[in-house]
Amino acid sequence: MAVRAKTKDLPQRTALKLGPRFLRAFLFAAEKHAGQARKASTIPYIAHLMGVASLVLEAGGDEDLAIAALLHDVVEDCGGMPRLREVRRMFGERVAKIVEGCTDSFSDPKLPWIVRKEEYLRRLKHEDAETRLVSASDKLHNVRTVIADYRKDGESIWKRFSGGREGTLWYYRALNDEFQRRKPNRITRELAVAVQELEKMVGPQGLKSRSLKSRSKRKG
């Protein structure tokens, strides 16, 4: 007969308290990304940032990592290096370092898509565990969105992506391969499952590899 454990016998855990800095970061992200939406949708972009922050917290990230998750796209999409300096001034060096490590473009206009992605993959190899956790959470949220959109809209979704079908699948496979090189965690394990599910959904025609030379001809 099963016996319910007494509450006093269970380990006591204190919930992470998110303070005024987190709220300030949320308001900052909401303001800077105001008017932006997810690809081919009316979903406010802040929804993605909230999703990434949620994944980071669920994986054990602290307040600084959650703040970096909220701000991980603010440099790339909202102002480049001047914005990074603002993040550093407002939220500190640790947050700024993670945000910088999650950014694949610091210029406007952006470099061609394939150039940015190849460079980001090279940089990712040398990032620390904190930056990789936030980055992997970002990619996991994105892949899950692609899966949901593919179920709903099918092959038409690839028109939304600068890399098209083959480029997008190549990028997520390459990211997953890189994240699996180090000790697995909750996020990287889920990313591997999600990438595998996406590949299974699109079928063998989506798994064709392309040479870097041919990919490099694709513009962002």
Which residue, chain included where needed, has tokens 């480049």?
80
Does 210 have pLDDT greater than 60? no
Residue numbers annotated as active site: 76-77
User: Which of 174, 200, 184, 190 is closest to 140 using CA atoms?
Assistant: 190
Across 144-154, average pLDDT: 96
pLDDT, one tens digit per residue, over 160-176 is 999 999 999 999 999 99
Query: What's the maximum distance between 2 C-alpha atoms anywhere in the chain?
Result: 67
Give the pLDDT of residue 12: 56
Residue 1 predicted with pLDDT over 70? no
- pLDDT tens-digit profile of 41-90? 999 999 999 999 999 999 999 999 999 999 999 999 999 999 999 999 99
Three-class DSSP category at 40: coil
Q: What CA–CA distance (Å, rounded) separates 16 from 1?
A: 36
pTM value is 0.87
CA pair distance 174, 210, nearest whole angstrom: 12
